[in-house]
Copies of this chain bind each other. A is one copy, B any other.
């Protein structure tokens, strides 16, 4: 089995990100709003948080990529999520659905399922959220992941009915999408740090970074993988310089900024996932 993506693909995406500085339109939760913007800026892109129903659709049409994150929805922002997703779909703006808390919380779970009709370019979540959204069951415990990402691969593949690429984050991230011939393919990305889940919004901000990469990458799977690899490499670098979760968050932003395409290509630990064992592509 050949590797679906190479380090050069990731480096090319980062080169494009730095050259084009895509503008992300984020509709994210109040816990992550500041950190997510700093992550997107540190990586080399730009972000505007606009989640009112008056402006969400218009901005989604002109943004480079849109993130809809279900972390702290209310009636007002939920309306904006729908308008932004619909506008992104209609305008061809790539958009990311981050189904935070889906599974354990019925109201937002229904909202997430409803948003699938606008065909997100990417669904990014932790394993339990991906499993829950795919309707395969699973229970979520707040916003923490309680399932192994590898176990979410069948659910991620099932979600390809609605999305172009899907990722389940965890100690080893698992991503699925389609290759240029339309075949379903999977990759796993190792790395990261035990400190990542000790800092809030590292997952949510990855969603913002995915939206940024989707604006510049040749395919959704390349953009999704580049965002995951950028985070994995930067967090490894940051962990070496940190003495706890506070200093890690600071070093992480510095490292997201410092990582260059050559470093990304060299340090990214990406390999293919054999999906035949998952009942795909036989």
Contact = CB atoms under 8 A, between A and B. Distances in A.
A73 interface: yes
Contacts of A253: 244-247, 249
Interface stretch (A5-13, A36-44, A87-95, A211-219): A36-44
A108 B255 CA distance: 35
Contact of A200 (B31, B38, B75, B258): B38
A118 interface: no
Interface stretch (A52-60, A179-187, A268-276): A52-60
A32 B29 contact: no
Contacts of A137: none
A34 B202 CA distance: 11
B38 A199 contact: yes
A142 B46 contact: yes
A29 B71 CA distance: 15
A279 interface: no
A138 to B, nearest CB: 16
Contacts of A148: none
Given A54-B108, A75-B76, A247-B250, 14 more contacts: A23-B142, A34-B200, A37-B200, A41-B198, A42-B246, A46-B144, A49-B71, A50-B101, A51-B74, A52-B72, A198-B257, A244-B255, A245-B253, A246-B253
Interface of A: 23, 29-35, 37-38, 41-42, 46-52, 54-55, 58-59, 71-77, 101, 105-108, 141-144, 197-201, 243-247, 249-255, 257-258
